[in-house]
Amino acid sequence: MEGQNDFHINWNEFKDLNKEKIEETAQNILSKMTLKQKLNQLSGDNPLLLGLLADGIRYNKEPYPTGGEPELGIPPIQFTDGPRGIVLNESTCFPVSMARGATWDIELEEKVGNIIGIEGRSLGGNYYGGVCINLLRHPSWGRAQETYGEDSYHLGEMGAALTRGVQRHMMACAKHYACNSMENARFKVNVKISERTLREIYLRHFKRCVDEGVASIMSAYNKVNGKFCGHNRHLLRKILKEDWKFDGFVVSDFLLGVRNGAAAVNAGLDIEMPYGWRMRPKKLYREIYNGNIPLEYIDDSVLRILRKKIQFHDIGNPNLYRQDQVACKEHIALALEVAQKSMVLLKNERDYLPLDKDEIKKIAVIGELADTPNIGDKGSSRVYPPYVITPYQGIKSLLNDSAEVICNDGRKQEEVIQVVKGVDVVVIVAGFTHKEEGEFVFSKGGDRDSLTLKEKDERLILSISQINKNCIVVLQGGSAIMMENWNKKVPAIIMSWYSGMEGGNALADIIFGNVNPCAKLPFVIPKSEKDLPYFDKSAKSIEYGYYHGYRLLDKESKEPAFPFGFGLSYTNFEYSNLKVEDEEISPKDKLRVSVTVKNTGNMDGEEIVQLYIGYNGSKVDRPAKDLKGFAKILVKKGESKNVEFELDPRDLAYYDEEKSRWVIERIGYSIYVGGSSKKTELLKKEITMK
């Protein structure tokens, strides 16, 4: 390799640089670097074997350093994982991303990102790998909990909000690019997909985060149309770097994200994470020497890395980054608020909830998860909070000795029968843990085999509901759970997700009316698994079609058990006065829509107003409707609020494969606005693109 130089960088000079100055500075540093120093930027700093040994003890307890160059004074990237909080050390544990997706709350998610950024910096990180925006194609996916839902628009907006919050303090990485919606077969599966489906359905949310300025993208393990994502030139160079003008860097998924170093660099991958293996400097040097990697690709990668290191070097307020900020009182308060606003009230027969705590003398909390800390997967996303409040603990704390609270794990049937006979209310906590869904590690986790509860949980619900009709079923899990075998037997159902360190307190607040539930499903729950796309968790090859989720059920006129965007409140909202500013618009005009929402109930409440677009007379196959906007509003009892949406006509375009461009059709469009995707409950207006 080349000899060394005596150039040294003073990073303290890099303050408040504009985009042009950042570029100029990065180019200047690059020009002074030897080839060896450049190659050192392209893979993790820790030795492979020592790193694997440390991971075996505990994954990501310390940041993973990458690209530190002491001779030049270039600092390393310090990686920490997510997405429900900072994986390093002990930190605030928020509800999982799917739960946060159910909030539909952009401002709240940005606040989550802000706290994650503060805690990440306080624990020594400068690069957060937790903006997980893979699309939920099928709810059997084991790592569904790590993303926000099934709709690309919703995913993009939530991911962009997390990115904004985190990047006040550190670099953020959006992952896993692309078509990573299966777990067990993630290392081998080949996803076959049309260019239109790829661009419209599986990449649009990544484009949204790129437009938001995300510093980095992580490639996925799987293949797309025959090429591993880390070696996929079409995904990395053509779409991401050329079409989208992405100016950040691309990292591999860990360990097996790169199979061939030269192929990865040539395709557009910039860093192998978290250790140098296929892309370690000596290997790449040989490939360059043999003419297998152009030097301009190395320079491009290093320039991208330097650009972001400079941009984020002086970001944030140094006074914030202290150990006492981690899992502090204010951060835990936000974790509680997120949990409160993420729980979805799916059923509330005859307004059974909220309970009046003054009328409750004895309540039973039943199930193996009733008093089990259950914050989600124990794979790479695992967070270590200082404590976890279980459902039983939350209910007992809220009642504060005003009622007797009995906890039973539900394993002994005769014992359970005696308990539930003598109580006013039964709270049944059922669902999953990291053993049934999550990152696939040996025999644990992975993709689910069924969308129903475990048989023993269903038997427990059915037997208890026959003895005591005052049942509330609380579901813990990361995606859709089908309830057709028992949902008519109980008056109330709450989807509580993996709700973080304060989940038990949030659940109690909702059950007893301290908080009015406002969350809505970020996916559809079908009546039958036959209504969903084909899923084979062991597949070597699978085709991803244009339709899934609510759009597939719409297309096939199937009635869901619970629609996309559905969730109940303790109050009622009435929609009226849907207006469009112009019933005829041109491709250069903005589409402006407004609607009035009135709270007709007796409690203040938050409502998630949803805007969908339908396509009339299109020359290509298009959905009956798809989400194009949403807004969360607080409406006090008796109050009315006007909600406005503005769309760019480009939001209505489809991708023309023959012309390789986006096309805005001059056709009729249906505007739908309401409180869920259920068509019969949506207001409708028609416009024409002239």
CB-count burial class (<10 Å; 0-12, 13-18, 19+) for 102: buried
Closest by CA position to 373, among listed 475, 480, 499: 499
Q: What pLDDT score was predicted for residue 398?
A: 98
Whether residue 1 is predicted with pLDDT greater than 70 in this model: the reply is no
Query: Cα(675)–Cα(133) distance, rounded to whole angstroms?
Result: 24
Task: For residues 418-426, give the mean pLDDT.
Answer: 96
pLDDT tier, 384 (very low <50, low <70, confident <90, very high otherwise): very high
Query: b/e map of 152-188 (b: 16 or more CB within 10 Å)?
Result: bbbbbbbbbbbbbbbbbbbbbbbbbbbbbbbbbbbee
Handedness of CA 471, 472, 478, 484 (dihedral sign): positive
Whether residue 370 is predicted with pLDDT greater than 90 in this model: the reply is yes
Q: Which two tokens stand for residue 532?
A: 């969903």
Q: Which two tokens stand for residue 435?
A: 């053993």
* Cβ count near 400 (within 10 Å): 9
Query: Cα(227)–Cα(346) distance, rounded to whole angstroms?
Result: 41
pLDDT tier, 4 (very low <50, low <70, confident <90, very high otherwise): low
pLDDT tier, 598 (very low <50, low <70, confident <90, very high otherwise): very high
Q: Which residue matches tokens 């962009």? A: 160
* Cβ count near 420 (within 10 Å): 24
For the stretch 522-563, pLDDT in tens is 999 999 999 999 999 999 999 999 999 999 999 999 999 999
SS3 content of the chain, % helix, strand, coil (to 5): 35, 25, 45
Task: For residues 178-187, give the mean pLDDT.
Answer: 97
* Cβ count near 55 (within 10 Å): 18
Triad 10, 165, 209: Cα angle to 5°: 95
Which amino acid appears at position 292 of this protein?
N
Q: What pLDDT score was predicted for residue 444?
A: 79
Peptide bond into 178 cis (omega under 30): yes
Whether residue 5 is predicted with pLDDT greater than 80 in this model: the reply is no
Q: What pLDDT score was predicted for residue 2?
A: 55
Q: Which residue matches tokens 């390393």? A: 76
Query: Cα(139)–Cα(181) distance, rounded to whole angstroms?
Result: 9
Task: Give the torsion through C-alpha atoms of 236, 240, 241, 247, to 10 deg.
Answer: -120
Peptide bond into 560 cis (omega under 30): no
* Cβ count near 31 (within 10 Å): 9
With pLDDT > 90 as the criterion, what percentage of the chain qualifies?
Answer: 94
Task: For residues 515-526, give the mean pLDDT.
Answer: 98
pLDDT tier, 355 (very low <50, low <70, confident <90, very high otherwise): very high
Triad 66, 69, 74: Cα angle to 5°: 90
With pLDDT > 70 as the criterion, what percentage of the chain qualifies?
Answer: 99
Do residues 489 and 70 lie in contact, with contact meaning Cβ atoms separated by under 8 Å? no
371 carries an active-site annotation: no
Query: Cα(119)–Cα(124) distance, rounded to whole angstroms?
Result: 9
Query: Cα(480)–Cα(463) distance, rounded to whole angstroms?
Result: 23
Rg over alpha carbons for the chain, rounded to the nearest Å, is: 26
Query: Cα(398)–Cα(11) distance, rounded to whole angstroms?
Result: 52
> Which fold does the domain 334-552 belong to in CATH?
Rossmann fold (3.40.50)
For the stretch 126-175, pLDDT in tens is 999 999 999 999 999 999 999 999 999 999 999 999 999 999 999 999 99
Whether residue 633 is predicted with pLDDT greater than 70 in this model: the reply is yes
pLDDT tier, 51 (very low <50, low <70, confident <90, very high otherwise): confident
Whether residue 661 is predicted with pLDDT greater than 60 in this model: the reply is yes
Whether residue 178 is predicted with pLDDT greater than 60 in this model: the reply is yes
pTM, 2 dp? 0.97
Do residues 171 and 127 lie in contact, with contact meaning Cβ atoms separated by under 8 Å? yes
Peptide bond into 274 cis (omega under 30): yes
For the stretch 555-592, pLDDT in tens is 999 999 999 999 999 999 999 999 999 999 999 999 99
Closest by CA position to 492, among listed 344, 345, 348, 343: 348
Q: What pLDDT score was predicted for residue 480?
A: 98
Please enumerate in sequence order all residues whose Cβ is within 8 A of that of 610, keeping only pairs 6 or more positions apart, or say none: 565, 627, 629, 630, 673, 674, 675, 676, 677
Query: b/e map of 107-118 (b: 16 or more CB within 10 Å)?
Result: ebbbbbbbbbbb
Query: Cα(457)–Cα(368) distance, rounded to whole angstroms?
Result: 9
Q: Which residue matches tokens 């309970």? A: 355
- Sheet with 640-647, side-by-side order of all strands: 573-580, 591-599, 640-647
Closest by CA position to 517, among listed 538, 537, 496: 496
Do 334-552 and 571-689 agree at the fold level?
no
For the stretch 229-254, pLDDT in tens is 999 999 999 999 999 999 999 999 99
- As a whole number, the mean pLDDT across the chain is 96
Query: Cα(146)–Cα(135) distance, rounded to whole angstroms?
Result: 10
Query: Cα(277)–Cα(280) distance, rounded to whole angstroms?
Result: 5
Q: What pLDDT score was predicted for residue 440?
A: 94
Query: Cα(625)–Cα(151) distance, rounded to whole angstroms?
Result: 12
Closest by CA position to 11, among listed 312, 222, 286: 312
Domain ranges of the chain: 334-552, 571-689
Q: Which CATH architecture has domain 571-689?
A: Sandwich (2.60)
DSSP E strand stretches across 283-403: 344-348, 362-366
HEC readout, 427-480: EEEEECCCCCCEEEECCEEECCCCCECCHHHHHHHHHHHHHCCCEEEEEECCCC
Marked catalytic residue, from 253, 300, 447, 509: 253
E strand or H helix at 285: helix 281-289
Closest by CA position to 453, among listed 474, 472, 438: 474
Handedness of CA 131, 136, 141, 144 (dihedral sign): positive
